[in-house]
Amino acid sequence: MLPWLVCSLPAAALEPFEGAQVHGFLSQGYILTSGNQLFGDSRHGGSLDYTQLGVNGSWRLLPQLQISAQGLYRRAGVGHENDKRLDYGFLDYTPLSNDELTLGVRLGRVKLPIGLYNATRDVPFTKPTILLPQSIYFERTRDLALSADGGMFYGEHRADWGNISADFGVFSLGVDSAESNLAVFGRNRVTGQSWPGSLQSKPSYISRLMYEHTDEDGGNLRLGITSIWLNAYFDPKLPAAQRLVGRTRYDLEKGDFTFQPWYFSAQYTAENWSLTGEYAFRQLHFQGFGSPMDRRVDGESWYLQGTYRLAPQWQAVARYDVYYANRDDRGGNAVAATQPTYTQYAKDWTVGLRYDITPKLMLQTEYHRVNGTGWLPPLDNPDPRKTQNNWDIFAVLLSYRF
């Protein structure tokens, strides 16, 4: 309750609380696509159904103890018409902090430190583009990756040769949503809908190791490795006697789902340019669901991105982004009998511009040329057979921070 109270109070009301801060952001986007839908009805004249509002606050109760929270409102197409959530809310205790070493723990709802961008993926001013590289930071499974309830241990060691930081978390993930169900299991071949039942979390783990060094010319190098062990199980809705009628399966058996990705991140930032790349190897295990659902799938994805500051207020970006649902079947031939092969991959060329109108107001625009629909949100596109292989995205975003 207290985190929400801190977030909702105006800055003037927090003045009596020494060390309290309130910040936030508001963004409104316009999305126009060809062939497929993204964040609402984007094919017919474009969609304005991409709105985000975040208000965050922090209050230092003691020199070593701080409380932080953020409330998030989001509108982003079908199934996300008016999402409201506690994005994060935790107690941060730092028993050791000096010039060389910091050690601490966060307890509550914590952000998951995946790669370079996940912890701040909803804050427009921290992102190089309106849409982050979808091969790594999926919109279709954002509920599985944003934040979780648990504890996060963290530490940082600072030295002349560079800084090393580490995070390790134990958490329980809120995964029971229609989009998460579709993203993990796909559609029921009989009904064309999600499988009746719910995806429930089990204890899961995350770790990230980062190295950062600033050279004599001011260039900054960042290298990182992130590992996740996400455990969940499927709780079927139908009684066992109704799950199989003849040879037609209407429901899954109760089974376990394990997601074990590895992310490798690298970024070099100079005065006027930066080069960023990330690679992900994903292992998905399905056990106990019955044939043909029981299987192991190894996915793979990566991107390479460059930014260049054209002027103090202007920045350009270019990126190539690649996603394969199954690295052993990159063309999607294994699913050809039930859905288009291009649902199993996506290759995205992106170019964009950013204009910082003022320090608090920013305008972004970008164009994507996409081959494949592997990361396309399923709720916006209920019938994969009616999607198109080659399609375009044009996006504009106006953002304000306070």
Exposed/middle/buried for 337, CB within 10 Å: 0-12, 13-18, 19+? exposed
* pTM for this predicted structure: 0.88
pLDDT at 10 over 50: no
Residue by residue, DSSP assigns 276-323 as EEEEEEEEEEEESS-TTT-EEEEEEEEEEEEEEEEETTEEEEEEEEEE
Question: pLDDT at position 114, please?
Answer: 95
Closest CA to 260 of 227, 293, 225: 227
- Return the C-alpha torsion angle 349, 365, 111, 90, nearest 10: 180
Return the pLDDT at 191. Answer: 59
Residue with token string 């849409």: 131
Query: Which residues fall within 8 angstroms of residue 240, CB to CB, at 6 or more apart?
Result: none
User: What pLDDT is stored for residue 299 in this prediction?
Assistant: 95
State the burial class of residue 100 (Cβ atoms within 10 Å of its Cβ: 0-12, 13-18, 19+): exposed
Task: Share the mean pLDDT of the chain.
Answer: 88
What pLDDT score does 382 carry? 86
- pLDDT higher for 338 or 368? 368
| Candidate from 99-108, 248-257, 381-390 with smallest mean pLDDT | 248-257
The larger pLDDT score, comparing residue 129 to residue 289, is at: 129
pLDDT tens for each residue of 35-72: 899 998 999 999 999 999 999 999 999 999 999 999 99
What is the pLDDT at residue 240? 53
Q: How far is CA 39 from CA 78, 143, 245, in A?
A: 7, 15, 37
**pLDDT beyond 60 at 119:** yes
Above 80 in pLDDT, residue 186?
no
Condensed to tens digits (0 to 9), the pLDDT of residues 288-297 reads 877 777 888 9
Tens-place pLDDT, residues 206-244: 999 999 999 988 899 999 999 999 998 888 775 554 445
pLDDT band at 9 (very low <50, low <70, confident <90, very high): very low
Rounded Cα gap, residues 259 and 285, in angstroms: 7
pLDDT surpassing 90 at residue 342: yes
Sign of CA dihedral 241, 245, 249, 250: negative
| Three-state SS at 219 | coil
SS3 state at 378? coil
Q: What's the pLDDT score for residue 7? A: 43
User: For the chain, how long is the longest CA-to-CA vector?
Assistant: 71
For residue 220, the model assigns a pLDDT of 95
Per-residue model confidence as pLDDT tens digits over 149-174: 999 999 999 999 999 999 999 998 76
Average pLDDT, stretch 83-110?
A: 95
- The pLDDT confidence band at residue 184, using thresholds 50, 70 and 90, is confident
Decide if 88 contacts 147 (C-beta within 8 A).
Answer: yes
- Give the model confidence (pLDDT) of 315-324 as tens digits: 999 999 999 9
